[in-house]
Amino acid sequence: MKRTKRFTRLSAGLLALLLLLTVGAAAALAVPAAQNAAEPEPSAEEPLTLAVSAQALCVTVRQTLQLTASLSDPQATPERITWASADETVATVDQNGLVKGLAVGRAEVTATAVVDGQTVTGGFTVCVVTRSNFVKDYLDRNQVLSYRYSYVDDYYYTDNVNSWQRNYGYAKYYDLIAPYVLLEYDYVRVFFTYEDKDWMVQCWKGQYGLVFYGAECGIYCKPHSDQDDTVFTVYRCPEEADWIDMSMTMYHADLNGSYQRELTCDYGRRWWCTGFKPGHLRVQEPATELRTEHRLTFKDEEMARLFAEGLKDCGFKDGRNAETLGLDQYCLDGRDVCLRWQNISDAENTMPIKISVGVLIFLHLLGIVLIVAALLGMGAFLLILI
């Protein structure tokens, strides 16, 4: 009996060992096959590119900035690299990539490399600025009364996130009183109702005081009302959840009538974008010396469509294509609306107010003159009596 049990255990152990060896051998044979089956095919070779970089975006006038060109493949060795500036009146570049600033503005610097007979190029936009004004240096780093300065394009702007203006919104009467505080500008207003709110998008361009000209674009809203707006109806700055992505570029006509880009408020999420340059327009009203281009990305296609219809009501034409927009045209593309504005202005006629105020000022000055004349006459009479 004991022999039978021992024989049974021995047989079971040998069988288990045989199964283990068999499974192990099968696994050993299967692993290489699986590895061979999963071995990826060699991927297509990525195209060679050339990147141009620098330690700063800007260079001051009469100073230099070193540019560096690097290939995407670190093993590749260029036969030669050549450098060129698109505008040598703004900045020049030598064949070592050293840029020298000559005048305030922007210049596209291009590097071209030849590798094994293949030509690759890369570009870098150099901003030439001046830091001779300590106010610019301070406003570049700090905000003063919501205003800051950008060495990129050399312009002043409003920090819309933390601006005090955000607490007051906008009403039509602001534009009515603007000329009496030395603000002469054109503007267009677009009104529409969306998600139980009344919305207003307004754009401005013109003379801001005695020393600046510029442009703005802002979006405002209020609870929906069936009552007609008055000049005192206030549209509030929207909550951050209702901000939209927008950008603005301003152009100014030179003496030859050619429009030159002055500044760009980069595309980003905001309720207000602004840009102001030191200077004075030759003709303040209308401000057709200035031309602006805008891109606004709304919350959805319905909101964008309503805004586009409002632009049409203001006199803008459908330009169909954002790349080929004409003057005072817009293009609707999904949630995006792009427009180019120069000549249209739906501003109210403020001439009666100006005439009325002018008459009052004239009468006031006339009264002062008569009082002074009376005092002088009285003085002369007293002298005669004495």
370, part of any domain: no
Q: What is the pLDDT of residue 1?
A: 44
- How many domains does one find in the chain? 2
43, part of any domain: no
Same structural domain, 149 and 289: yes
Residue ending a domain, among 129, 156, 178, is 129
Same structural domain, 109 and 171: no
Of 288, 49, 248, give the one whose Cα is nearest residue 157. 248
CB–CB of 109/123 below 8 Å?
yes
Q: Is the pLDDT of residue 126 over 80?
A: yes
Same structural domain, 125 and 141: no
Q: Is the pLDDT of residue 41 over 60?
A: no
Of 227, 304, 310, 242, give the one whose Cα is nearest residue 272. 242
CATH for 106: 2.60.40.1080
Same structural domain, 264 and 293: yes
Structure confidence at residue 344 as a pLDDT band (50, 70, 90) = very high
Same structural domain, 139 and 273: yes
32, part of any domain: no
Same structural domain, 300 and 260: yes
41, part of any domain: no
Same structural domain, 247 and 320: yes
Q: Is the pLDDT of residue 141 over 60?
A: yes
23, part of any domain: no
10, part of any domain: no
Q: What is the pLDDT of residue 302?
A: 97
Q: What is the mean pLDDT of residues 51-58?
A: 84
Residue ending a domain, among 70, 101, 129, is 129
What are the tens digits of pLDDT across the range 147-185?
999 888 889 999 888 889 998 899 998 988 888 888 989
What are the tens digits of pLDDT across the range 176-192?
888 888 898 999 999 99
Amino acid at 300: D
The residue segments making up the domain with residue 117 are 50-129
Same structural domain, 189 and 326: yes
Q: What is the pLDDT of residue 375?
A: 83
Q: What is the pLDDT of residue 210?
A: 86
Structure confidence at residue 24 as a pLDDT band (50, 70, 90) = very low
Q: Is the pLDDT of residue 100 over 80?
A: yes
As a whole number of Å, the CA-based R_g of the chain is: 35
101, part of any domain: yes
Assign 173 to helix, strand or coil: helix
Residue 199 forms beta bridges with which residues? 192, 221
Return d(Cα 66, Cα 376) in angstroms, integer: 72
For the residues of 312-337, what is the DSSP string, one character each?
HHHT-EE-S-GGG--TTEEEEETTEE
Characterise 196 by phi-psi region: left (phi > 0), alpha (psi -120 to 50), beta (else): left
Q: What is the pLDDT of residue 273?
A: 95
CB–CB of 188/344 below 8 Å?
yes
Q: Is the pLDDT of residue 262 over 80?
A: yes
Residue ending a domain, among 101, 129, 157, is 129
Residue predicted with more confidence, 224 or 105:
224
Q: What is the pLDDT of residue 304?
A: 97
Q: Is the pLDDT of residue 353 over 50?
A: no
Assign 161 to helix, strand or coil: coil
**Residues of the chain with pLDDT > 70: what percent?**
81
Same structural domain, 240 and 283: yes
Q: What is the pLDDT of residue 362?
A: 65
Residue predicted with more confidence, 295 or 381:
295
Same structural domain, 81 and 177: no
Return d(Cα 142, Cα 185) in angstroms, integer: 28
Same structural domain, 203 and 259: yes
Give 358: exposed, middle or buried? Use CB within 10 Å, 0-12, 13-18, 19+.
Answer: exposed
Q: What is the pLDDT of residue 361?
A: 64
Q: What is the pLDDT of residue 356?
A: 54
Q: Is the pLDDT of residue 245 over 60?
A: yes
Q: Is the pLDDT of residue 104 over 90?
A: no
Structure confidence at residue 12 as a pLDDT band (50, 70, 90) = very low
What are the tens digits of pLDDT across the range 284-298?
888 999 999 999 999
Q: What is the pLDDT of residue 95?
A: 93
Q: What is the mean pLDDT of residues 250-260?
A: 91
What are the tens digits of pLDDT across the range 59-99?
888 889 999 999 988 888 888 899 999 999 999 999 999 99
Structure confidence at residue 17 as a pLDDT band (50, 70, 90) = very low
Structure confidence at residue 363 as a pLDDT band (50, 70, 90) = low
Q: Is the pLDDT of residue 276 over 50?
A: yes
Structure confidence at residue 125 as a pLDDT band (50, 70, 90) = confident
Q: What is the pLDDT of residue 20?
A: 36
Same structural domain, 257 and 333: yes
221, part of any domain: yes
CB–CB of 309/192 below 8 Å?
yes
Return d(Cα 208, Cα 278) in angstroms, integer: 10
Return d(Cα 44, Cα 53) in angstroms, integer: 27
Q: What is the mean pLDDT of residues 126-135?
A: 77
